[in-house]
């Protein structure tokens, strides 16, 4: 499933690019350029060839890790642009995944163990709010209050310009965007943890454990939580597409120089090779995420065999 | 009609009188009663009613022309002249929010209508015919779901030039997979049922069985998923417009109002400007979700009222 899917995505994104009416040469060229120079320029980038030939060439290169050169920033390999940005995106995604899990799972477990209490209702209501709130607006509000008015955080970027590298400075820039990216999935994750925990608490072995006189905390954490975590881990794979999509928006809000921002710039400038490379990488990340979730599932649940 | 109402004609003794506790009640009344018991669903319905009304009557309700710029009143605070303040070009925020509601609801309803249509056809065909056709269609659904859709969405928008029509089309193309899975499930469980067999025995064409015999049974879940879908599209439209790839200014949309609000200078002096469009998005999506959840419970016969 994974490899054919990647293949289909490359074909679709390639086809879309070719359908595009906008031409990068029209954007960057001097309008007075002579026709033969334009043809020569297009020729040098292979833009005059048959579409299938162009696709084949691009796919062949891509398999070898060569995504071609940027059309806008001439001579710069797409691979370099992406490698320069990818660590920032991965760091953002990693930290916000940790934040999302650290906040959602305890909340979900807590509201499952205190079912139908006021706290449970409050947590459920906040999750509803979270699902209905655009994450970029949460970002804007946090920037407005915490950064602009209170000055506690920088308004964007990955580090202070012109200062030597410091972990504290990096963290200071990372906290807000990572938190906002996490909010996008936090509500769903909380609801999911809650229902997963409720399912487990209904099981016979929980009743047995309680009947054996274990303390409630032991039952919840040792017997309940461990089993409730198994389905929560798999949802990680399903969350990945929305995380990667969310990174485009959050990186734009916080001017975070990752591949999401690179993609937005490329999309506005119609920089085909960059756009396609990012689409393929995003698709690859989704596929890897699903694979990872399957593996984790098998590791954590001894009942699963392949 | 009379035949079904006369149990004696079947040769069995007359059925005993129905107990008085379960009077015959039309199904919609039962659903309405269940729905009205859910407080959040009622609040959601009222909110939705108000928002749709505000969108329809925007030209009469709006105190000012939404695109009229009064540069002297740039970023005017909320007050008598501008109930919710003015934006960075001196336009009335309340009027722009009212007209923005038209855009959000139009894009939401129209694209969900499109995606429900595609999803219902694909799901019905897959579920009714089953077998290889089902397998192929469902693999296709899996593929579309695992697409990094926001990237393709943005790519498509830059190719086709953002406009209301392209946005509607693009959200319809990416939004149908959930409905397809849902409708397929309903059809799979109903395709072997007795009334379908009866219809087949009578020689009714497949197309007719699908649309007039089975589909009405799947209507509840479809309406629920449509309601929740509108909220999702409104969020998506807001995000694209915020990024500058959705509704283009000067047409007001809740998303593009937030785009021009992101400026430290504006945020420092005019907190109301980024606040209100977000609150509108939040309220509208919340209302759709509450209504959707309420409808789900009302349609579900397993949930007692």
Mean residue pLDDT of chain B comes to 82
Query: Are residues A123 and A117 in contact, defined by beta-carbon separation less than 8 angstroms?
Result: no
Tell me which residue of B230, B17, B244 sits closest to B105, measured CA to CA. B230
Contacts of A3 in chain B (CB under 8 A): none
Query: Are residues B95 and B62 in contact, defined by beta-carbon separation less than 8 angstroms?
Result: yes
pLDDT at residue A38, as a whole number: 67
Say which range, A29-38, A242-251, B111-120, has the weakest mean pLDDT. A29-38
pLDDT at residue B4, as a whole number: 45
Q: Is A145 exposed, middle or buried (0-12, 13-18, 19+ CB in 10 A)?
A: middle
Q: B238 is written with which tokens?
A: 């807001």
Nearest CA in chain B to A139: B262
- The whole-number average pLDDT for the span B282-290 is 92
Q: B3 is written with which tokens?
A: 């035949």
Nearest CA in chain B to A247: B150
In sequence order, what are the beta bridge partners of B86? B92
A175: left (phi over 0), alpha (psi -120 to 50) or beta: alpha
- The whole-number average pLDDT for the span A232-245 is 76
DSSP 3-state assignment of A26? helix
pLDDT tens, position by position, B261-283:
777 777 777 788 888 899 999 99
pLDDT at residue B285, as a whole number: 93
Contacts of B159 in chain A (CB under 8 A): 16-17, 19-22
pLDDT tens, position by position, A104-141:
988 988 888 888 888 888 888 888 888 889 989 999 88
Interface test with A, best of B154, B157, B272 (most A CBs within 10 A): B154
- Cα(B209)–Cα(B191) distance, integer angstroms: 10
Residue A34 has pLDDT above 70, yes or no: no
Q: How confident is the model at residue A158 (pLDDT cuts 50, 70, 90)?
A: confident
| Chain centre distance of CA A116 | 34
pLDDT tens, position by position, A193-233:
888 888 888 888 888 888 888 887 778 777 788 778 877 87
Contacts of A136 in chain B (CB under 8 A): 239, 242, 258
Nearest CA in chain A to B149: A245
Query: Are residues B90 and B76 in contact, defined by beta-carbon separation less than 8 angstroms?
Result: yes
B304: left (phi over 0), alpha (psi -120 to 50) or beta: beta
pTM of the model: 0.83
Mean residue pLDDT of chain A comes to 80
Q: How confident is the model at residue A2 (pLDDT cuts 50, 70, 90)?
A: low
Q: Which of residues 142-181 of A touch B (CB under 8 A)?
A: 143-144, 147-149, 155
Q: Which of residues 280-299 of B touch A (CB under 8 A)?
A: 281-282, 285-286, 289-290
Query: Are residues B52 and B73 in contact, defined by beta-carbon separation less than 8 angstroms?
Result: no
More confident residue, B58 or B289: B289
pLDDT at residue A70, as a whole number: 78
pLDDT at residue B8, as a whole number: 45
Nearest CA in chain B to A184: B235
Q: How confident is the model at residue B10 (pLDDT cuts 50, 70, 90)?
A: very low
A278 and B151 within 8 Å at the Cβ level: the answer is: yes
Question: A226-253 vs A78-113: helix axis angle to the nearest 10?
Answer: 130
- Cα(A7)–Cα(A3) distance, integer angstroms: 6
- Cα(B247)–Cα(B255) distance, integer angstroms: 8
In sequence order, what are the beta bridge partners of B240? none
How far CA A60 is from CA of A152, A231, A273, B163, B275, in Å, comes to 49, 39, 14, 36, 49
Interface test with B, best of A126, A131, A134 (most B CBs within 10 A): A134
Q: Is B228 on the interface with A (CB under 8 A)?
A: no
């Amino acid at each position: 499933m994974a490899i054919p899917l990647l293949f289909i995505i490359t074909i679709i994104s390639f086809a879309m690019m070719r359908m595009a009416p906008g031409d990068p040469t029209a954007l960057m060229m001097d309008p007075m350029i002579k026709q033969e120079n334009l043809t020569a320029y297009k020729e040098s980038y292979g833009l005059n060839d048959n579409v299938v030939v162009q696709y084949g060439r691009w796919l062949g290169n891509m398999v070898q890790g060569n995504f071609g050169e940027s059309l806008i920033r001439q001579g710069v390999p797409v691979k370099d642009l992406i490698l320069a940005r990818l660590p920032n995106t991965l760091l953002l995604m990693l930290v916000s995944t940790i934040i999302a899990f650290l906040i959602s799972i305890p909340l979900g477990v807590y509201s499952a163990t205190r079912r139908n209490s006021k706290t449970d209702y409050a947590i459920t209501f906040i999750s509803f709010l979270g699902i209905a709130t655009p994450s970029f607006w949460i970002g804007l509000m946090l920037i407005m209050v915490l950064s602009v008015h209170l000055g506690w955080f920088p308004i964007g970027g990955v580090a202070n310009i012109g200062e030597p590298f410091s972990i504290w400075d990096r963290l200071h820039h990372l906290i807000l965007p990572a938190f906002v990216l996490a909010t996008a999935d936090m509500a769903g994750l909380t609801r999911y943890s809650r229902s997963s925990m409720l399912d487990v608490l209904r099981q016979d072995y929980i009743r047995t454990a309680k009947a054996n006189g274990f303390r409630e905390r032991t039952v919840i954490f040792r017997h309940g939580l461990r089993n409730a975590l198994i389905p929560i881990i798999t949802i990680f794979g399903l969350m990945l597409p929305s995380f990667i999509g969310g990174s485009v928006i959050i990186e734009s809000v916080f001017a975070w120089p990752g591949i999401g921002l690179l993609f937005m710039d490329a999309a506005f400038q119609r920089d085909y090779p960059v756009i396609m490379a990012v689409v393929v990488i995003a698709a690859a990340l989704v596929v890897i995420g699903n694979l990872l979730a399957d593996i984790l599932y098998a590791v954590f649940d001894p009942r699963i065999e392949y | 009609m009379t035949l079904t109402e006369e149990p004696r004609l079947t040769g069995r003794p007359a059925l005993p009188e129905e107990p008085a506790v379960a009077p015959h009640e039309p199904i919609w009344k039962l659903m309405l009663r269940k729905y009205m018991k859910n407080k959040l669903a009622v609040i959601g319905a009222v909110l939705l009613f108000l928002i749709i009304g505000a969108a329809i009557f925007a030209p009469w309700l709006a105190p000012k022309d939404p695109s009229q710029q009064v540069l002297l009143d740039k970023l005017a605070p909320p007050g008598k002249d501008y109930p919710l303040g003015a934006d960075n070009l001196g336009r009335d925020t309340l009027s722009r929010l009212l007209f923005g509601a038209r855009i959000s609801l139009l894009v939401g309803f129209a694209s969900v209508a499109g995606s429900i249509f595609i999803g219902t056809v694909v799901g019905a065909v897959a579920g009714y015919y089953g077998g290889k056709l089902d397998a192929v269609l469902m693999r296709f659904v899996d593929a579309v779901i695992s697409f990094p859709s926001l990237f393709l969405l943005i790519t498509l928008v830059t190719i086709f030039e953002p406009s209301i029509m392209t946005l509607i089309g693009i959200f319809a193309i990416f939004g149908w997979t959930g409905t397809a899975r849902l409708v397929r499930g309903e059809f799979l469980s109903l395709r072997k049922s007795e009334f379908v067999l009866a219809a087949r025995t009578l020689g009714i064409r497949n197309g007719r069985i699908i649309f007039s015999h089975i589909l009405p049974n799947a209507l509840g879940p479809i309406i629920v998923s449509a309601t929740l879908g509108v909220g999702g599209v409104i969020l998506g439209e807001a995000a694209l417009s915020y990024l500058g790839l959705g509704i283009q200014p000067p047409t007001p949309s809740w998303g593009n109002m937030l785009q021009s609000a992101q400026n430290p200078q504006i945020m420092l002096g005019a907190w109301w400007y980024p606040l209100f469009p977000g609150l509108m998005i939040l309220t509208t999506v919340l209302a759709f979700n509450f209504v959707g959840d309420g409808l789900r419970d009302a349609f579900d016969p397993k949930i007692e009222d």
